[in-house]
Amino acid sequence: MLLSSVQNPRLLYLQSRLSHFNFRIKSSLHTSQTLTLTPSPPPPTSQILDIRKTLLSREKTAVELAGDYLTRIQRSDPKLKSFLYVSEESVLREAEELDRKIERNEEVGPLAGVYVGVKDNICTADMPSTAGSRILENYKPAYDATAVSKMRESGAIVVGKTNMDEFGMGSSTEASAYQVTANPWDLSRVPGGSSGGSASAVSARQCVVSLGSDTGGSVRQPASFCGVVGLKPTYGRVSRYGLVAYASSLDVIGCFGSSVSDTGILLNAISGHDRHDATSSRREVPDFTSQFISKDILDSKPLKGLRVGVIRETLDEGVDAEIVMSIRAAVSHLEELGCTVTEVSLPSFSLGLPAYYILASSESSSNLSRYDGVRYGNQCESEELNSLYENTRAHGFGSEVKRRILMGTYALSAGYYDAYYKRAQQVRTLVRKSFKSALDENDILISPAAPSAAYKIGEKKDDPLAMYAGDIMTVNVNLAGLPALVLPCGLVEGGPAGLPVGLQMIGAAFDEEKLLKVGHIFEQTLQDCCFVPPIAADN
Amino acid sequence: MALTMFRGIKCCPFSMYPSALVARKHVFLYCTMNNSPSQTATQDKAQANAKVSTQSKKMSKVAKDYEAIIGIETHVQLSTLTKAFCTCPYNYGSQPNSSVCPICMGLPGALPVLNSKVIEYAVRLGLALNCELSFNSKFDRKQYFYPDLPKGYQISQFDVPIATGGFIDLDLPVEFGGGHRKFGITRVHMEEDAGKLLHTGNGSFSQVDLNRAGVPLLEIVSEPDMRTGIEAAEYAAELQRMVRYLGISNGNMQEGSLRCDVNVSVRPWGQIEFGTKVEIKNLNSFSAMNRAIDFEIARQELLHSQGQADQIVQETRLWEEGAQKTVTMRKKEGLADYRYFPEPDLPAVNLTIKYVDDIRDSLPELPEMKRRRYETMGLSMQDILFLVNDMDVADFFDATIAKAADVKLAANWIMGDIAAYLKNEKLSINEVKLTPEELGELIASIKSGTISGKIGKEILFELLAKGGTVQGLIKEKDLVQACVFFYYRD
């Protein structure tokens, strides 16, 4: 997993790339097609490998690195509000421990000194985990989620907990009970959701990589909005133990990174069977980074023979023209790399959205029953039992959560079950089948990650249906349980520096390796795009 | 771990619980019943008989015009080492909340993982009850709010139970008129138990003990095939024997390891539709079942005979041991909607033919098989029922006669002097020093005339208390009968 593209071991590369940034943005907003006169910025490098080099060469200590990140958080988070909790004390303590290890020349894990943000619905034993909800205010879990403990075993240092829509229910992070996170590209815009905090933290370089969760697009859509790489693994690839359940049959823990390599390295660390999760797969976990090829040794058609299907329904009406253009440009880029690109149709595509909202709401109405104020979380004093439940839940849950609990309770009620839940399960089977046949014909499928770039804060807050419609690109993948990688492929007009657009690549079940390989080549060969937001340059 | 686990828990008081909660109190407090754990169904019946007869006298006039229909739902707590979905052990009576973890406390993010023993035990019982097994079964969530239910839903099985359509054979005790019965079993399904509520004396708050939450249960639903209290009690007693024979539960009613909820309705003879059914809870012994059902039948028959059948409403009634009657606990307000749906955290339960065959091959000889075998050996039904009631006694008997001991004599010794000794000393048959081999030897020595019956008895008590061999004791105590000496001198 050596990347020879890692040439600049110092973190200064950020600045070096940013120096080109503002200059180019005006001339080339959309894609790689428009050429500029400036030299092309270097493709993103692996921050994880950079840190490793920096630490092992004793160029910087882990404590110094921690200071860099903490300072950046201190400066930018009052504006961004990516984090609900930052654990300075434990970060410095763990960094000191790491420095001692390095001093003694001890073996350090693949994520040593990697500062990670963890979405607030993933349990961490030493930090509060509220899932963005008032009902779990100050709740500190008794245990680490499996993904977190695996990261820690690999040497990662958890910086803090990132903001999210309450229980993952939302697409803009505006449904957080605590704060609204801003998009690092334009502070007046949303970072996407529900893992908006994790996406904006990586985008603004407040942490190296982060964990999110994806039930209907909650990793991929914010990755697209914030111009970072987001990976939703196959259902069952990563243990859900310790992930606060929203919709159990759809939930997966996913990864954010500023490069495909970082995302792959993080996935390596958290994947695999877990005896605490009966739905986690026993499949062997390959080294997801072993397929990465350095840009320097790529031949002219590195993806020759790769069959790529563009999902026709995702470029139809309702998708912003600029987004369609960006995706078309990405298609040209893939063709230049040697791919055979054809259009495929998924007839059940439009059915996915209503089916998703029925299934996810149904499961959530059940999963959220445990927040009754009896054992943990906020409890409202009451005179009798029913009002204890009513008051606790009325005050503890936000309106979007209540809306989904109501919808789900309705869909599961006697007399309605067949018309809603059962029907939606049948649609799910159809969706799975149509993906299966499309992926028999193609190696990967591509689509936008969202029908638009980041929108303004407040723009859709009071229109839940418009908000739901924004999930059209991603929910089908969850229904089918497939892996998908979102990576920035272009910029569109908007904000002070343009707004990033994400390309979604969907693969066959458990074939994250192929997605990462293709994504890596795409990223390394993409010209004239630099996906570092202005706020990261300010710091 | 134990320490950190409690960080998240707040076994919290909720002040001033509603009246329904107060009423429910009785349901959970099995421990207030004072039946000794060692009682057997047969012993129960003797007391029951007397009480029932007085009550049934006043009803005898109307009784023959009506027919009672009884169906039973039984919950059997499985004696697996750990709970159904986590690795916590369960021991009855341990300190509240001392055997809990994130999973059985329903902490955010915790997931259930099925203990495979639960399936094995369910298959054992399914086979023993002559059921058809579902080779592709699944778990569902049954949803309702109650403080003893940590997740807000119970993991159970809904439309595809692990076993369906079986039956159970039993023989009624001779003192109740005897007779063979076959009762249908509708279904057997797997589920998890809830915790327990502890109410403070002054009623100002309640506490939750989650030790029992997540303990595996099998729910056995009978067909509405029983007609009298004694049939129902015998059905439950046979289930208890069965789970003990199968080694899947201790079947102890006082600890709540075997709980029966009984549905009773009454209809005029010849009517095809069932009458309105009433559910009875708080039945902590077979005798209580018998008496409660007969009381309830009489109550309903009386209402029917007085033209007040409309006073019988669908409700849950509690058996009050003190007053010897059933009282209304709560009226059913329409059907509860549990919003069942498939449990997404657990994969489907798929059985293979080999798995089932292996379990079938490992089943012990079940009570019904034993009864039929003993019958062919010429034992009376009274003897048979006594011996078969306790598997250890039956095994002891079988081991005794395996050494060619006289069947009738072996039965008599076990049911007579040995049973009396066990009762006095409060021991089980496995706890005495006497071995079946020596009992066989003793019987043979008496039969051959080596020792007299009286001396045999003396030796028996020595063997029970101290062990040793018959031959050794005869020599040691020089107990050989005189006539034998004459015989040798000849």
Tens digit of pLDDT for each residue in A524-536? 999 878 899 988 8
> Which pLDDT does position A22 carry in this prediction?
36
Q: Which two tokens stand for residue A323?
A: 């987004």
Q: ipTM score of the complex? A: 0.90
Name chain B contacts of A379, Cβ cutoff 8 Å: 10, 12, 14
> Which pLDDT does position A175 carry in this prediction?
97
Across the interface, whether the CB atoms of A123 and B109 are under 8 A apart is answered yes
Q: Does A242 touch chain B (CB under 8 A)?
A: yes
Instruction: Give mean pLDDT, residues A182-204.
Output: 97
Whole-model pTM: value is: 0.88
Q: For residue A172, give Cα distances in angstroms to A93, A220, A253, A355.
A: 34, 12, 18, 21
> Furthest-apart CA pair in chain B: how many Å?
91
Residue A101 lies in a domain: yes
Name chain B contacts of A368, Cβ cutoff 8 Å: 152
Confidence tier at B409 by pLDDT (50, 70, 90): very high
Across the interface, whether the CB atoms of A370 and B106 are under 8 A apart is answered yes
Name chain B contacts of A382, Cβ cutoff 8 Å: 14-16
Across the interface, whether the CB atoms of A142 and B107 are under 8 A apart is answered yes
pLDDT tens figures, B143-152: 999 999 999 9
Across the interface, whether the CB atoms of B111 and A241 are under 8 A apart is answered yes
Q: Does A372 touch chain B (CB under 8 A)?
A: yes
pLDDT tens figures, A335-361: 999 999 999 999 999 999 999 999 999
Lowest mean pLDDT among A72-86, A333-347, B470-484: B470-484
Angle at which helices B381-389 and B367-376 cross, to 10°: 140
Reply yes or no on whether the pLDDT at A184 is more than 70: yes
Nearest to A278 among B4, B114, B335 (CB): B114
Name chain A contacts of B24, Cβ cutoff 8 Å: none
Distance from the A341 Cα atom to the nearest Cα atom in chain B, whole angstroms: 37
Instruction: Give mean pLDDT, residues B108-135.
Output: 98
Distance from the B221 Cα atom to the nearest Cα atom in chain A, whole angstroms: 22
Q: Provide the 10 A C-beta neighbour count for residue B198.
A: 16
> Which pLDDT does position A217 carry in this prediction?
97
Please name the amino acid found at residue B393. V
Q: What are phi and psi of B430, to 5 degrees?
A: -75, -15
DSSP per-residue string spanning B230-242:
HHHHHHHHHHHHH
Q: Could you tell me the residue range of the domain that residue A478 belongs to?
A: 35-296+305-354+421-538
| Chain B residues near any Cβ of chain A (below 8 Å) | 4-12, 14-18, 20-21, 102, 105-114, 141, 143, 145, 147, 150-153, 208, 335, 337, 339-341, 344-347
- A141 or A6, which is more confident: A141
How far is A213 from A215, CA to CA, in rounded Å? 7
Instruction: Give mean pLDDT, residues A289-298.
Output: 86
pLDDT tens figures, A107-130: 999 999 999 999 999 999 999 999
> Which pLDDT does position B333 carry in this prediction?
63
Distance from the A278 Cα atom to the nearest Cα atom in chain B, whole angstroms: 5
Nearest to B145 among A121, A369, A379 (CB): A369
Instruction: Give mean pLDDT, residues A156-179.
Output: 98
| Interface size, chain A vs chain B, as Cβ–Cβ contacts under 8 Å | 144
Those residues whose C-beta lies under 8 Å from the C-beta of residue A366, and which sit 6 or more positions away, are A408, A412, B141, B143, B152, B153, B339, B341
Confidence tier at A297 by pLDDT (50, 70, 90): confident
pLDDT tens figures, A368-377: 999 999 998 8
Indicate which CATH number applies to the domain containing A239: 3.90.1300.10
- Helix, strand, or coil (residue B203): coil
Lowest mean pLDDT among A276-285, A458-467, B62-71: B62-71
Reply yes or no on whether the pLDDT at B41 is more than 80: no
Tell me the pLDDT of chain A averaged across its residues. 91
Residue A276 lies in a domain: yes
Domains contained in chain A, number:
1
Reply yes or no on whether the pLDDT at B127 is more than 90: yes
Task: Report whether the peptide linkage leading into residue A194 is cis, meaning its omega lies within 30 degrees of zero.
Answer: yes
Q: What are phi and psi of B267, to 5 degrees?
A: -140, 155
Name chain A contacts of B330, Cβ cutoff 8 Å: none
Reply yes or no on whether the pLDDT at B50 is more than 50: no
Confidence tier at A537 by pLDDT (50, 70, 90): confident
Name chain A contacts of B156, Cβ cutoff 8 Å: none
Q: What percent of chain B has pLDDT over 90?
A: 72
Instruction: Give mean pLDDT, residues A262-269.
Output: 98
- A172 or A317, which is more confident: A172
Confidence tier at B45 by pLDDT (50, 70, 90): very low
| Strand-strand pairing, B258-268 and B66-77 | antiparallel
Tell me the pLDDT of chain B averaged across its residues. 86
> Which pLDDT does position B20 carry in this prediction?
35
Name chain B contacts of A240, Cβ cutoff 8 Å: 109, 111
Residue A393 lies in a domain: no
Reply yes or no on whether the pLDDT at B18 is more than 60: no
Reply yes or no on whether the pLDDT at A4 is more than 60: no
Nearest alpha carbon to residue A505 among A470, A531, A529, A474: A474
Nearest to A366 among B6, B109, B153 (CB): B153
> Which pLDDT does position B334 carry in this prediction?
65
Instruction: Give mean pLDDT, residues B421-431.
Output: 94
Confidence tier at A318 by pLDDT (50, 70, 90): confident
Q: What percent of chain A has pLDDT over 70?
A: 92
Reply yes or no on whether the pLDDT at B38 is more than 50: no
- B367 or B336, which is more confident: B367
> Which pLDDT does position A300 carry in this prediction?
85
The Cβ-side half-sphere exposure at A378, using a 13 Å CA radius, reads: 16
Residue A321 lies in a domain: yes
> Which pLDDT does position B29 carry in this prediction?
26
Residue A9 lies in a domain: no
How far is A10 from A98, CA to CA, in rounded Å? 19
- A458 or B468, which is more confident: A458
Instruction: Give mean pLDDT, residues A267-273.
Output: 98
Reply yes or no on whether the pLDDT at B473 is more than 60: yes
Nearest alpha carbon to residue A2 among A34, A63, A45: A45
pLDDT tens figures, B341-366: 999 999 999 999 999 999 999 999 99
> Which pLDDT does position A38 carry in this prediction?
53
> Which pLDDT does position B479 carry in this prediction?
63
CA angle A317, A221, A402 (to 5 degrees): 95
Reply yes or no on whether the pLDDT at A25 is more than 70: no
Residue A375 lies in a domain: no
Q: Does A142 touch chain B (CB under 8 A)?
A: yes
Q: What percent of chain B has pLDDT over 70?
A: 84
How far is B15 from A281, CA to CA, in rounded Å? 45
Confidence tier at A291 by pLDDT (50, 70, 90): confident
Q: Which helix (H) or strand (E) holds A507?
A: none
Residue A534 lies in a domain: yes
Instruction: Give mean pLDDT, residues B279-290.
Output: 94
Instruction: Give mean pLDDT, residues A464-489.
Output: 96
Lowest mean pLDDT among A267-276, B45-54, B353-362: B45-54
Across the interface, whether the CB atoms of A374 and B12 are under 8 A apart is answered yes
Question: Which residues does residue B264 pair with via DSSP β-bridges, in sequence order?
Answer: B70, B278
Lowest mean pLDDT among A47-51, A84-88, B64-68: B64-68
Reply yes or no on whether the pLDDT at A14 is more than 90: no
Confidence tier at B62 by pLDDT (50, 70, 90): low
Between positions 417 and 436 of A, the ones with CB within 8 A of B are 417, 421
Confidence tier at B63 by pLDDT (50, 70, 90): low
Nearest alpha carbon to residue B339 among B137, B158, B193: B158
Residue A452 lies in a domain: yes
How far is B275 from B315, CA to CA, in rounded Å? 13
In this structure, chain B runs to a length of 490
pLDDT tens figures, B85-105: 999 999 998 999 999 999 999
How far is B147 from B135, CA to CA, in rounded Å? 34
- A213 or B199, which is more confident: A213
How far is A484 from A504, CA to CA, in rounded Å? 7
Q: For residue B410, give Cα distances in angstroms to A302, B100, B143, B367, B440.
A: 88, 48, 54, 19, 7
